[in-house]
Amino acid sequence: MPKIFAVIGLGTFGSAVALELARRGYEVFACDRDPDKIEELGSELANAVELDATDEKSLRDAGLDEVDTALVSFGDSIADSLLVIMLLKGLGVKEVVVKVADERHARLVKRIGADRVIFPERDMAIRLVENLLSPDIFDFIELSEEYSLVEIAARKKMLGRKLADLHLRKRFGVNVIAIRSKVPVVNKKGVPDIEEKINIAPGAEDEIREGDTLVILGRDQDIERVKKL
């Protein structure tokens, strides 16, 4: 059975998550206490419900007890988000994901029973700084204190060489887990264009070409050495 989702709190982040889930064909309960937000999203979401999520009966009446995963995305009130997490867990929601605003909020929701805590502003800030400081780092995800996943433009020295010949694992201890390539095409109008293709788990014989972006997994200090190539 496909998973059923709920998004509680339809601010910018919550509504974007709800719309994307719906776009991908999932059933989503989208809830907010603000009737304007429900009206705004009602045409795009089949189950947009105006409700006060701090009221257990309202949650149950809206069918939230059938939900597998719920995102709690309140910007303003920590107290409300804590109460809603407890109610959702009480209703039997298997996974409760909570968007938090700061470290204190994160600590509290973890204690209360959130299954997953997300910190979009902080994560995005770290990624942005990384990108501003190194323009050829296109994306960055910190996996732990030591390990990261980065997208890095192929270095000039790598072009025209096979992955195996670069010995990135042996020399730097990093793994290339995907290559994003800019492949030339001629579009329907007969105009040259570029399409992006992604090669997941590239093979040793795959060649690095101009415009390629390598998705590298490794220790931060080792990734730094690759960047200097």
What does the binding site for other proteins look like in residue numbers (CB under 8 A)? Answer: 135-136, 138, 153-154, 182-184, 186-187, 191-194, 209-211, 213
- Measured CA to CA, the distance from residue 31 to residue 53 in angstroms comes to 8
Question: What is the pairing mode between strands 137-142 and 147-153?
Answer: antiparallel
Cβ burial 110-141 (10 Å sphere, 16+ → b, else e): eebebbebbbeeeeeeebeebeeeeeebbebe
Looking at beta carbons only, is 192 or 203 nearer to other proteins?
A: 192
Q: For the CB of residue 159, give the shortest distance to other proteins in the complex, in Å.
A: 9
Looking at beta carbons only, is 186 or 200 nearer to other proteins?
A: 186
Q: Is 121 left (phi over 0), alpha (psi -120 to 50) or beta?
A: alpha
Beta bridge partners of 148: 142, 218
Looking at beta carbons only, is 33 or 155 nearer to other proteins?
A: 155
- Measured CA to CA, the distance from residue 133 to residue 137 in angstroms comes to 9
Q: For the CB of residue 144, give the shortest distance to other proteins in the complex, in Å.
A: 25
Looking at beta carbons only, is 6 or 214 nearer to other proteins?
A: 214
Looking at beta carbons only, is 63 or 184 nearer to other proteins?
A: 184
Looking at beta carbons only, is 47 or 131 nearer to other proteins?
A: 131
Q: For the CB of residue 184, give the shortest distance to other proteins in the complex, in Å.
A: 5
Angle at which helices 103-112 and 78-91 cross, to 10°: 20
